[in-house]
Amino acid sequence: MSKPLILVTNDDGVESPGLLAAVRALRGLGELMVVAPLEQQSSKGRSFAWKQRPVVKSTLRLANTNVTTIAVDASPAVCVRYALMLGVPRPPALVVSGINYGENLGNGLTISGTVGAALEAAADGVPALAVSLETAKEYHLSHSTLIDFSIAAMWTRKLAKQILLHHIAREIPVINVNVPSDATRETKWRVTRASQQAYFRSLVEAGKFIGYDVMINHDNLERDSDIYAVSVERIVSVSPLTFDLTARESLKSFAKTLKALADD
């Protein structure tokens, strides 16, 4: 019986130390294959941007193990689509996206290329794990070696192992994990929901966008949310995600409201 195939991707680019940390963390759980963006693709969400440049194939050598690596000059979602349709030798049992420089929390999740890659995998029926590490924003677009991915890597392995062994992702297409920057091996974790708040907000000066920063409205912050877990409790957030973007209001009630409006 062949080992389960684990596809590893990210949005920071194929040379990211975070990606390498994920690969190292996953060794021994299955056969590993990397298909990741050739260059930085943060905040591309599930974009299908494609530059039509050739893919680049190479091999990573880790602890006497060869890991096939394909770099695609495209968004994370395109990398996953390419991998699933053209790149992999057989269907993967799991897609792992990360480890990302910077947290992915709240209602901005659909902006994230890390989460976008995971959603693209799940859309094709492959369970996905997205892992992000809280970092200062000056590191978000970097490949800095100053960032310690060891605790995030530990969580990557721990959850990937549970998904593979117990098939816990059958009903949950994507598991989104966010690790606080000060987390240790003793740091607690909690299942959370994605906050309805924005976590990062754009900064404007003199009529121009000048960047972004964390801006949390603590008065309205949901205590069961991912933002609360990471920013207030300083624990690991584990959020189950689905494709159901439907508003929670009763559909029958909504239909009656629309009908009443139409009859006015």
Each residue's pLDDT tens digit, 28-59: 999 999 999 999 999 999 999 777 777 889 98
Q: Tokens at residue 256, please?
A: 């009656």
Percent of the chain with pLDDT over 90: 80
- pLDDT at residue 231, as a whole number: 98
CATH code for residues 5-196+223-263 = 3.40.1210.10
User: pLDDT tens across 142-158, in order?
Assistant: 999 999 999 999 999 99
| Whole-number average pLDDT of the chain | 92
Q: For residue 1, name the pLDDT band (cuts at 50, 70, 90).
A: low
Q: Is 193 in contact with 248 (CB distance < 8 Å)?
A: no
**Which two structure tokens, joined as six digits, stand for 188?**
């607690």
Domain ranges of the chain: 5-196+223-263
The whole-model pTM stands at: 0.93
Q: Does position 63 have pLDDT exceeding 70, yes or no?
A: no
pLDDT above 80 for 233: yes
In the predicted structure, residue 254 carries a pLDDT above the cut 80:
no
Q: What is the DSSP annotation of 108-167? A: GGGG-HHHHHHHHHHHTT--EEEEEE---GGGTT---TTS--HHHHHHHHHHHHHHHHH-
Q: What is the pLDDT of residue 104?
A: 98
Tell me if residue 53 falls in helix, strand or coil. Answer: coil
- How far apart are the C-alpha atoms of 42 and 67, rounded to whole Å? 24
- pLDDT exceeds cutoff 60 at 264: no
